[in-house]
């Protein structure tokens, strides 16, 4: 082999290595999404099974509402921990970091970054775009990915949250829904959806019934009067 050939191979090897290092970020996938009812406590978990995926500085997560009219974008300002084999990272709100049972987030996003009613998440730009349905708002459950693809449709299951950061710490948080009398589905509104739930409980008796607004162990006309007095007013 001539000296010229050796030089060509050496240059090619350097360029290939530089390209690999520059592009080593694209194999992260969304693995878990969580929001409480208020949107103050939210996190996005991403995972990869591959090495060399730490170079995410300057890349983004973009969340867009289901209607495509609103979006929030977060830009990574630092690389992840290394090595990245079988690692997860947590991108979360300050409210998450302050909640008992949480883990230290790897990155911080503002409150209500995620659209609770559902939308799309994009890592990239253009590396992965997924559609997610409405997020559970009971303060315990999150949406966990069951099939990892680069584009929609993306399969999720609902299960208790277990955020895991890049250091390997695993958390579990519980954020009680806000006490909003008459908001039976904990969505922050008192509307026909709650009325449907209320009527489904009407006439029932027992402890802990959401429709038992006066806590007398029965869902009856007294509760209906209280419910109608609050109907249509937003939760505080």
Q: Are 150 and 183 members of one domain?
A: no
Cα 212 from Cα 204, distance rounded (Å): 9
pLDDT in tens, 137-165: 889 999 999 876 655 556 789 999 999 99
pLDDT in tens, 97-142: 999 999 999 999 999 999 998 999 999 998 999 999 889 888 999 9
In the numeric block, the tokens 């990574």 are attached to: 76
Residue ending a domain, choose from 160, 192, 225? 160
Average pLDDT over residues 66-92: 96
Average pLDDT over residues 73-82: 97
Contact 131, 153 (CB under 8 A): yes
The pLDDT value recorded for residue 58 is: 96
* Number of domains making up the chain: 2
Residue 189 has pLDDT above 90, yes or no: no
Q: Name 47's bridge partners.
A: 29, 88
Confirm whether 139 is domain-assigned.
yes
Cα 198 from Cα 190, distance rounded (Å): 11
What SS3 state is found at 146? strand
Residue 54 region, left (φ>0) first, then alpha (ψ -120 to 50), else beta?
alpha
Give me the chain's average pLDDT, please: 86
Residue ending a domain, choose from 133, 160, 187? 160
Strands (E), 4-127: 29-35, 42-48, 60-65, 71-75, 87-92, 107-108, 119-124
Cα 69 from Cα 51, distance rounded (Å): 36
What SS3 state is found at 46? strand
Q: Are 150 and 185 members of one domain?
A: no
Residue 78 has pLDDT above 50, yes or no: yes
Residue 21 has pLDDT above 50, yes or no: no
In this structure, what DSSP letter does residue 100 have? T
The pLDDT value recorded for residue 151 is: 54
Whose CA is closest to 188, among 28, 7, 18, 40?
40
Residue ending a domain, choose from 132, 160, 188? 160
Between helices 221-230 and 192-201, what is the axis angle to 10°? 170
Q: Are 35 and 144 members of one domain?
A: yes
The pLDDT value recorded for residue 187 is: 77
Q: What is the pTM of this model?
A: 0.71
Q: Are 147 and 214 members of one domain?
A: no
The pLDDT value recorded for residue 174 is: 93
Range of the domain at 201: 178-236
The pLDDT value recorded for residue 5 is: 44
Residue 45 has pLDDT above 80, yes or no: yes
Confirm whether 216 is domain-assigned.
yes
Least confident range of 40-54, 100-114, 207-221: 207-221
Which domain CATH number covers 223? 1.10.1330.10
Q: Are 155 and 182 members of one domain?
A: no
* Angle, vertex CA 205, rays to CA 193 and CA 183, nearest 5: 25
Q: Are 39 and 139 members of one domain?
A: yes
Number of H helices, E strands in the chain: 4, 10
Contact 131, 120 (CB under 8 A): yes
The pLDDT value recorded for residue 182 is: 87
Average pLDDT over residues 173-180: 81
Which domain CATH number covers 127? 2.60.40
């Amino acid at each position: 082999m001539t000296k010229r050939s050796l030089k060509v191979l050496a240059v090619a090897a350097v360029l290939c290595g530089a390209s690999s290092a520059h592009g080593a970020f694209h194999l992260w996938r969304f693995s878990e999404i969580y929001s409480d009812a208020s949107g103050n406590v939210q996190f996005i978990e991403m995972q990869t099974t591959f090495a060399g995926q730490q170079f995410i500085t300057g890349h983004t997560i973009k969340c867009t509402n289901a209607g495509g009219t609103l979006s929030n974008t977060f830009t990574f300002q630092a690389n992840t921990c290394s090595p990245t084999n079988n690692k997860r990272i947590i991108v979360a709100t300050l409210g998450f970091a302050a909640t008992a049972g949480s883990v230290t987030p790897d990155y911080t996003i503002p409150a209500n970054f995620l659209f609770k009613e559902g939308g799309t998440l994009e890592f990239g730009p253009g590396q992965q775009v997924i559609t997610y349905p409405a997020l559970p708002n009971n303060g315990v459950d999150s949406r966990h990915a069951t099939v990892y693809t680069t584009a929609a449709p993306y399969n999720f299951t609902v299960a208790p949250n277990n955020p895991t950061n890049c250091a390997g710490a695993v958390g579990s948080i519980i954020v009680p829904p806000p006490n909003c009398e008459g908001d039976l589905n904990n969505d922050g509104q008192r509307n026909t959806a709650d009325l449907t739930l209320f009527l489904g409980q009407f006439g029932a008796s027992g402890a802990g019934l959401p429709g038992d607004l006066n806590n007398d162990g029965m869902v009856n006309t007294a509760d209906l009067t209280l419910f109608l007095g609050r109907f249509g007013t937003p939760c505080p």
